[in-house]
Amino acid sequence: MSPRTTRATQNPPGDASPVSRPHKAGNPGTTGSPDAPDASGGSGPTTAPHAGRAPRAGHRHADGAWGWLFVSPMVLVLGLFLVLPILMALWVSLLHWDGQSNPFSGQAEFAGLDNYRSLLTQDGLDRTLFATSLRNTAYYVLLTVPLQTALALVLALVVNQRMLRGRSALRTVFFFPSVTSSIAVSTVFLFLFQGSGAVNTMLSWIGIKGPNWFADPRGVLSLLLGALGLVDPDHPTGVLASHSFMGLSWYQWLSGPSVAMCTLILLAVWTTSGTFMLIFLAALQDIPRELEESAAIEGVNRFQMLRYVTLPALRPVLFLVLTLGLIATWQVFDQVYVMGQGAPGNTTLTPAFLSYSAAFDDADFGQGAAIAFVLLALILCMTALQRWALRERNAGTGRNR
């Protein structure tokens, strides 16, 4: 990476003046990574010319101390408001705590893994609801993430065209949904997608009778299969209906996002693509002009330029956008809270909302915390999987980004 090489040139051998020390130690503080001081402070000096000098070790120790001093406010804030609450919530997830006493005094009954068991292995309402929320969100993520990434990329490519007129106006327009409050947008969508709302009125102009979007719990895949005559959506039979997993029949798992959920997906894609467009745009403008010019001299066409020059250059940003999208979609809450709180038929229920309602509506904070931790584990697994899928295959050295 470039900072390392520049640092080496900035610190020629022999330049051990103490003035440069605080600067070096302070630098990582601005990047916000507590790992950085030792890494950067260590890599430069340990290179061959300085390896033998004894006093360096003491300096390095001082560097570390300075580094910790400079990052300590951030560490303290993160520790107090992030790490500590997470540990507390982890403890609560092991209790039957109703929120009325001190969870750290032993008044709340210790439940061990009971809360997790009732979510994952015990047959009952808790597991059925949790499985339903997982199914809903899986479809939500599966559709939203690729759609919003693709749309954002296309929009970024469009507004990055130098020849395009009114580029900045278009950028503003595309970005606009992202700066609007999600609560406000959700409310507007509620009106647009009413049974007799604007969307259905427009559909009726071309002869389509739109569904009653937010009141329609039918899964779109099951509707599709029903239209093909493969299954009867109202009375499913056969293998799909007779087997079940986590309290939901195979048919229920495979019925797809409900019509109501599809509007939520549409909303998410529309509101988030602007933000991601901006990230892609910044990366696009960072691609060296020479790279494109030399490719042009080689005689590539536009598609080849996109496939072999632009996209590879965007890989790290693509990873960022996919990760952000994945995390945000698994945690979707506010739209659900506004648009139906799980209705119709629990088909817009998401783990985040279920966690909230378990804690505050059922006074079962342990269960709510357990849901949150299962969700966390799930997101971590997904991100690891995605990191593995997007690794640099030609690097060969096993170096990760």
Partner 1 sequence: MTTRTAAAIVSCAALLAATGCSSNFGSGSKTEQDTGSRQHLTVLIATSGDAETKSVKDAAAAYAKQSGNSVTVEVAKDMNQQLAQSFAGHKPPDVFYVNSDQFANYAKAGSLYAYGDRIKDADDFSAQLRTSFSYDGKLVCLPKDTSTLALAVNTDLWKKAGLTENDYPTTWDELKAVAGKLTKGGVTGLVTTNEYQRLGVFMKQAGGWVTNPEQSKMTSDSPQNAEGLGFVRSLLKSGALKYAQQVDTSWGGEALGKGKAAMTIEGNWLTGAMKLDYPNVKYKMVELPAGPSGKGTLAFSTCWGVAAESAHRTAAVDLVKYLSSAKQQLTFADAFGVMPSRTSTLDTYARQEPDAKAWVDSAAYAQGPVTIAGFDKVLSQFNTDLQTLSTTDPKTILAALQRNGEQALTKGN
Judged by beta carbon, residue 30 or residue 100, the one nearer partner 1 is 100
CA 276 to chain centre: 12
Judged by beta carbon, residue 1 or residue 125, the one nearer partner 1 is 125
Q: What is the largest CA-CA distance in the chain?
A: 84
Instruction: Report, in Å, the least distance between residue 254 CB and partner 1.
Output: 18
**Radius of gyration, alpha carbons of the chain:** 27
Among 42, 73, 79, 312, binds partner 1 (CB under 8 A): 79
User: In the stretch 27-56, what mask flags binding to partner 1 with x, by CB under 8 A?
Assistant: -----------x------------------
Instruction: Report, in Å, the least distance between residue 360 CB and partner 1.
Output: 5
Region of 92-100, 136-144, 147-155, 277-285 interacting with partner 1 (CB under 8 A): 92-100
User: In the stretch 115-134, what mask flags binding to partner 1 with x, by CB under 8 A?
Assistant: ---------xxx--x-----
Q: How many Cβ atoms are within 10 Å of 204's Cβ, its own excluded?
A: 12
User: In the stretch 300-339, what mask flags binding to partner 1 with x, by CB under 8 A?
Assistant: ----------------------------------------
Query: For residue 233, which of 202, 265, 256, 212 has the smallest C-alpha distance?
Result: 256
Judged by beta carbon, residue 220 or residue 359, the one nearer partner 1 is 359
Among 256, 325, 344, 351, binds partner 1 (CB under 8 A): 344
247 backbone dihedrals φ, ψ, rounded to 5°:
85, -5
Separation in Å, CA 329 to CA 145, 265, 267, 322, 326:
7, 9, 12, 10, 5
CA 359 to chain centre: 24
Helices and strands counted in the chain (H then E): 20, 4
Among 8, 69, 74, 80, binds partner 1 (CB under 8 A): 80
What burial letters (b/e) apply to 295-305, b meaning 16+ CB within 10 Å? Answer: eeeeebeeeeb
Q: Are the beta carbons of 174 and 155 closer than 8 angstroms?
A: yes
Instruction: Determine if 199 is a binding residue for partner 1 (CB under 8 A).
Output: no
Instruction: Determine if 84 is a binding residue for partner 1 (CB under 8 A).
Output: yes
Q: Please report, as ranges, the residues that interact with partner 1 according to CB under 8 A.
A: 38, 68, 75-76, 79-80, 83-84, 87, 98-105, 107, 124-126, 129, 194-196, 212, 214-215, 217, 234, 342-346, 357-364
